[in-house]
Amino acid sequence: MIFCFGTLWGCQPKSSTSYAIIKPQYAKLFFFSTQSGDTTLHIIQGQDTLAVDKKSGHQFHLLSTTQVGFFELLENTSDIKGVVYPEEISSNSLKLRWQQGQLIHLNPGHGEIDQELLWSQSADYVLYRPFDPLDFTLPASTEKIPFLDYAEEHPLGRLEWIKALGFLAKRMIFAERLFQKKSALYQSQICKTKQHKKVVMGSWDGNTFYINGTKSTIHQSLIDAGHSTCEMGAEGTVEWDREMLWSKLSEIDHLIWITTTKQKPLLEKEMLQPESWQKKWSVTPHFILIDTCAYFQRAIIEPEKLLQDLTHLDDAQIKTFVTN
């Protein structure tokens, strides 16, 4: 029997041996296949495709704090066995487990991943990001999963990775329902008319400015909010030096910085005071303070709230992520 995952994917004719491909609605880097009643997850990594079958257990080690939000949305944070940087996690349930010594710190001292912990405290899956390769051997009982949500170009494509996690965690039907609900919320908030505002969003490491490129979820969110952006290369992130940024300020209406409370004054000093930006270039600066709003853990699973913020940049209303 071929499974049907929601009306958007459709149902194939019933057969005991037929093979079917089930593609996500927005995500480009994974899909499912079904054959003889069995479902397999396929993850597309460059020229390779990794086939993942469901395991009997579903305990996870997470090598990125951004993955926590998916578990919160699925209401299965209890499946998380180990994490990196536990003190930066916003989940109350995980904070409590960390305080009670029930959560494994996989990079104690904020150093490299402790390989011995991955063996002595093994999990069913290790979720990692390929740009930070997991280049050491894991126990035979552990499968490493390249979690590529960050490489998707649409915010709903990134959110749709909840279906991949739902498959691994045996919560696939719940994951499908959650996605359809969140997707409908996002679609209902897409701006139907252009605001004719040019908006740029980025971060700064003290030397280089990293600006959203055209192949990024941020770019798509800005377009869906009715804005336009500067001409960019076809990358997810574009690097600008100070001179490049200054040369673009006359084209920009709103500039949104993703930063921390501590770094904000340094950024303002680097770029002159915000009042000067507005007087000289008519640029309105905004900030997303990642340490106060848990942006990297929440915006992934709440793209509709980020979209609402971006749509109402000129409004004085309190926003979820963006501050003035």
Encode pLDDT of 37-49 as tens digits: 899 999 999 899 9
Average pLDDT (302-317) is 92
> Sorting pLDDT into bands at 50, 70 and 90, what band is 7?
very low
Query: Does residue 97 have a pLDDT over 70?
Result: yes
Q: Give the C-alpha distances (Å, rounded to integers) separating 215 from 296, 310, 319.
A: 18, 18, 25
Question: What pLDDT sits at residue 1?
Answer: 32
CB 155 within 8 A of CB 212: no
Encode pLDDT of 61-82 as tens digits: 999 999 999 999 999 999 999 9
* Mean pLDDT score across all residues of the chain: 88
Question: What pLDDT sits at residue 273?
Answer: 60
Q: Does domain 199-323 have CATH number 3.40.50?
A: yes
Work out the percent of the chain whose per-residue pLDDT is above 70. 91
Alpha carbons 72 and 198: distance in angstroms, whole number: 34
DSSP state of 34: E
CB 144 within 8 A of CB 126: yes
b/e code 251-279 from CB counts within 10 Å (16+ = b): ebbbbbbbbeeebeeebbeebeebeebee
Q: Which of 8-12, 27-31, 285-289, 310-314 shows the highest mean pLDDT?
A: 27-31
Would you list the domain boundaries of the chain? 59-185, 199-323
Rg (alpha carbons) of the chain, rounded to whole number: 21
For 68, the token pair is 């926590």
With a CB cutoff of 8 Å and minimum separation 6, the contacts of 182 are 156, 159, 301, 302, 303, 304
**CATH number among 3.40.50.1980, 3.30.1330.60, 1.25.40.10, 3.20.20.70, domain 59-185:** 3.40.50.1980
Alpha carbons 244 and 41: distance in angstroms, whole number: 43
> Sorting pLDDT into bands at 50, 70 and 90, what band is 6?
very low
Query: Does residue 208 have a pLDDT over 70?
Result: yes
> Sorting pLDDT into bands at 50, 70 and 90, what band is 10?
very low
> Sorting pLDDT into bands at 50, 70 and 90, what band is 183?
very high
Q: Do domains 59-185 and 199-323 have the same CATH topology?
A: yes
Query: Does residue 16 have a pLDDT over 60?
Result: no
CB 90 within 8 A of CB 297: yes
Phi and psi at residue 13, to the nearest 5°? -55, 140
Which secondary structure element, helix H or strand E, spans residue 79, and what is its range? none
Average pLDDT (143-172) is 96
> Sorting pLDDT into bands at 50, 70 and 90, what band is 250?
confident
**Helix runs in the chain, H state only:** 68-74, 92-99, 115-120, 155-159, 161-168, 172-188, 217-224, 242-248, 264-270, 274-281, 290-293, 295-298, 303-311
Average pLDDT (213-235) is 87
Work out the percent of the chain whose per-residue pLDDT is above 90. 62
Between β-strands 322-323 and 125-128, what pairing exists: parallel, antiparallel or unpaired? Answer: unpaired
Query: Does residue 323 have a pLDDT over 60?
Result: yes
CB 245 within 8 A of CB 276: no
Query: Does residue 193 have a pLDDT over 60?
Result: yes
